Chain A
């Protein structure tokens, strides 16, 4: 197998707060292969958004700081890249779309104005060449009447249209990696369906890799090839999408999947007891131990579990599995 497109190794990020230093990412590891849609799931505050932002180095500093680790993208460590190179990379090789498209577009410029700026920042193009590129991309995300969208201001568009504009803008320079941070969470379900279909099509047609950050296991099941599950700043399980749903290994993943409502009506849902630990003072050893129904051995309370392979393309960080990957 060729080297992954994105290889995040032992990434640690912390934020300074009044209560102390919050360790939001603690030696998180993640890979994204070429042409795949990688799902990154976890609950609020688990660090999934911070992880995606760290790739583009857009974590506000201070209060945030990247404390260690490597982010290898196309063989280069992004954390060691000079700022000018990093700036060229953003939007051209790696792009990002966010949850709230209204906050990501400038309200006082037309869509065309903002889109052309992206094109002309990255390649030599005159105004009409840039406009042609924009129209082509807007058509690719299935916006009706691209010409009038180009002349519109963001407030004149609906939420779904704005998110399509964001996708068009992100992909106009044909990047190899798209970081998508909950891009459909603010949208209605019928519009979400349209956006997911567009992303799936673009990934397939352009060979685009997507790191799709979400808390919605339904979206993961429908869109992603592989899934990484995060808990309290650590990646605790990575597997192909079918294994995650059919044979979840980590007790947290099992709880997460069992708590999804609506497989049938009625009955008790499984609820993971307790709540997410405080990142300022996380529990020692396995961070899931205080909520884990299987926590027993003294190992759980003392030693942070390492990622072990339990099946091909399926790794988990849990003391239930020994070094040979056996339960």
Chain B
């Protein structure tokens, strides 16, 4: 495919727990376990999962904010996991990020103009007066006037700060932006403004988004395809409408059924799953979802489930489909 922008294969990352003085034996928390995904130019891939599922770690690994233990991230044909120095800087100019908390992701002691133009300065794409000019242009694109350049982040509301974050991400004209829960700190009416803005900017500039969120309704609204993560692994990937109409993995089904639908005429039992997400330190053997799975079979506790393609582009990692396909 010529349109492919990003291909992630078998990405793994584990964090050590303990092992220090008086901390007992060192154990490993598998935050990301053999994650593979791909993204085409100009498309939006939603990455959903509950807290601790490793979705933010995937974003950080792709951006090289964290180094992967194994696996590859091919971005515009280059494996960024191996890059160093100037080459890494060049690749990073093409990928940017917007974080969840607009309070802590903007330096309170820098003016908005300096914050927005900083990527250009670091990447050496502009100097002097051009920095300010391009910062103003970028701010204008997100709906903020040039009077904002000399103000500080605390003078802005949450929604405006998230616009500043977006202006900073887009100032260097990236091909790919990781949106790490960009609207979960915002109210629903402000969230709508930001989501609309994201869509406008994408149709104008043609960059791709990896949209990380725990909120299925938001992800459904913005994404063309969705990947569902559970305990560090992707359990299902599908085109958005397919995922909502015919979810293949029992976890996806439970997740969809747990979302409170904003329609009092459609009341239902939201308690579809019992128990909490188990700790990623001691992963259950076999399928990682089997202790909570309402459809678990004997083989689920011992054998890792295979990836099964249910229809073009719709993949579920579950024994249920394996049995149906090969009786």
Contacts and interface: CB of A to CB of B under 8 A. Distances in A.
A266 interface: yes
A216 B271 CA distance: 17
Interface stretch (B31-39, B169-177, B256-264): B256-264
Contact of A262 (B214, B218, B241, B264): B218
A220 B277 CA distance: 25
Nearest to A43: B187
Interface in A255-286: 255-257, 259-263, 265-266, 268-272, 275
A217 interface: yes
A190 B258 contact: yes
A261 B215 CA distance: 10
B188 A43 contact: yes
Interface stretch (A104-112, A133-141, A193-201, A306-314): A193-201
A242 interface: yes
Nearest to B265: A242
A268 B222 CA distance: 10
A271 B241 contact: no
Contacts of A218: 217, 259-262
A262 B192 contact: no
B96 interface: no
Contacts of A263: 262
B217 A193 contact: no
- Chain A interface size, as a band, is 35 or more
A304 interface: no
B276 interface: yes
B270 to A, nearest CB: 3
Given A192-B270, A193-B273, A218-B217, A245 B260 contact: no
B188 A217 contact: yes
B195 interface: yes
B306 to A, nearest CB: 25
Contact of A189 (B214, B265, B276): B214
A219 interface: yes
A268 B196 contact: yes
Interface string A51-92: 000000000000000000000000000000000000000000
Interface of B: 50-51, 157-159, 187-193, 195-196, 199, 214, 216-218, 220-221, 223, 240-241, 244, 254-255, 257-274, 276-277
Given A188-B50, A221-B262, A259-B189, 18 more contacts: A44-B158, A44-B187, A189-B50, A189-B216, A190-B272, A191-B276, A218-B260, A221-B261, A221-B264, A222-B268, A223-B260, A241-B264, A242-B264, A245-B262, A245-B264, A261-B220, A271-B190, A275-B190
7 contacts: A43-B190, A190-B254, A193-B270, A221-B262, A221-B266, A245-B265, A261-B217
Interface of A: 43-44, 158-161, 188-194, 196-198, 215-223, 241-242, 244-245, 255-257, 259-263, 265-266, 268-272, 275
